[in-house]
C-alpha cells in the first residue's frame, strides 16, 4: 500500500514543480497533499473499506458511512516551517459535522520529523473562525501557551480524531520524509454548507452498520 501511495505522491510532486513549485497549499520539496487516491486506484479504495475502519467509523459516527476525503501528506525536511493549527471543517464546512479523520503513519511519525499535535477537547468549541495564510488556514496561534499533545506513531499505526479537533504538524528536522495517508469518513448523506448542495459521488463504506 505504501508503495502505491508513494507512486501517486511522486507524480504529484513532479506536477507541482512544473507549475512553479506551488499548488494550493502544496509546496514542492516541502509538503505535498495528494488527494483522490482511492478514487483512482481500486486497491486503495478496497483498503479504505477494511473491517477495522468500518468498525471504528460506525461506532463513532453511525450506521451509514461514506469516504469523505483521502490524501497522502508527505512532509520533507523543510527547516523552520510547520503546518499551522486548523480544524479540517475550516476548509469546507459540512453538515452533519464532525466527520472522522484516520491519520495513518506510512513511516514512523516523530516529533523530530514533524508528527501531528492535537489540542484535546478543542472539538467541543464547534467550528471557529480561520485566517487565510500562504501556508494554510489558521485557527489558533502557535505562540499560545497550550501547544497541545504531540502524537508520535509507529509505521502502520493510526491516530483517530474528529474533524473539529485543532491540530497541526511540526517542523521536519530529520533527514527524510514524514509520510502519512489521511482517510476521512463522514455520515451519509453530507451537505456542503457553503453551497447548500449534497456532496455526491462519494465512495460508500457502510450502510445499516454493515460494510458495503
DSSP symbols for 115-146: -EEE-TTGGGG-S---EEETTEEESS-TTSS-
Which pTM does this prediction carry? Answer: 0.95
Residues (pLDDT < 50) of the chain are none
Nearest to 37 by CA among 46, 24, 29, 28: 46
Residue 78, pLDDT score: 73
Q: Which domain covers residue 142, as residue numbers?
A: 2-211
Give me the CATH number covering residue 161. 2.60.120.620
Q: How many domains does the chain have?
A: 1
Burial of 60 (0-12, 13-18, 19+ CB in 10 A): middle
Annotate 142-185 with three-state secondary structure: CCCCCCCEECCECCCCEEEEECCCCEEECCCCCCCCEEEEEEEE
Q: What is the pLDDT of residue 80?
A: 67
Residue with cell 463504506: 205
Amino acid at each position: 500500500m505504501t508503495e502505491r501511495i508513494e507512486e501517486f505522491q511522486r507524480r504529484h510532486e513532479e506536477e507541482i514543480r512544473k507549475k512553479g513549485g506551488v499548488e494550493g497549499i502544496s509546496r514542492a520539496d516541502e509538503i505535498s497533499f495528494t488527494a483522490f487516491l482511492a478514487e483512482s486506484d481500486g486497491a486503495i479504495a478496497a483498503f479504505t473499506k477494511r473491517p477495522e475502519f468500518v468498525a471504528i467509523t460506525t461506532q463513532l459516527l453511525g450506521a451509514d458511512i461514506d469516504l469523505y476525503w483521502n490524501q497522502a501528506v508527505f512532509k520533507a525536511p523543510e527547516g523552520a516551517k510547520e503546518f499551522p493549527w486548523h480544524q479540517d471543517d475550516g476548509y469546507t464546512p459540512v453538515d452533519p459535522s464532525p466527520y472522522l479523520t484516520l491519520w495513518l503513519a506510512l513511516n514512523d511519525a516523530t516529533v523530530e520529523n514533524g508528527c501531528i499535535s492535537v489540542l484535546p477537547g478543542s472539538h467541543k468549541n464547534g467550528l471557529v473562525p480561520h485566517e487565510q495564510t500562504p501556508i494554510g488556514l489558521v485557527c489558533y496561534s502557535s505562540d499560545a501557551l497550550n501547544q497541545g499533545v504531540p502524537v508520535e506513531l509507529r509505521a502502520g499505526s493510526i491516530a483517530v480524531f474528529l474533524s473539529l479537533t485543532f491540530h497541526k504538524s511540526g517542523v521536519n528536522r530529520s533527514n527524510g520524509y514524514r509520510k502519512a495517508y489521511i482517510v476521512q469518513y463522514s455520515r451519509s448523506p453530507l451537505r456542503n454548507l457553503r453551497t447548500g448542495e449534497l456532496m455526491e459521488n462519494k465512495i460508500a463504506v457502510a450502510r445499516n452498520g454493515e460494510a458495503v
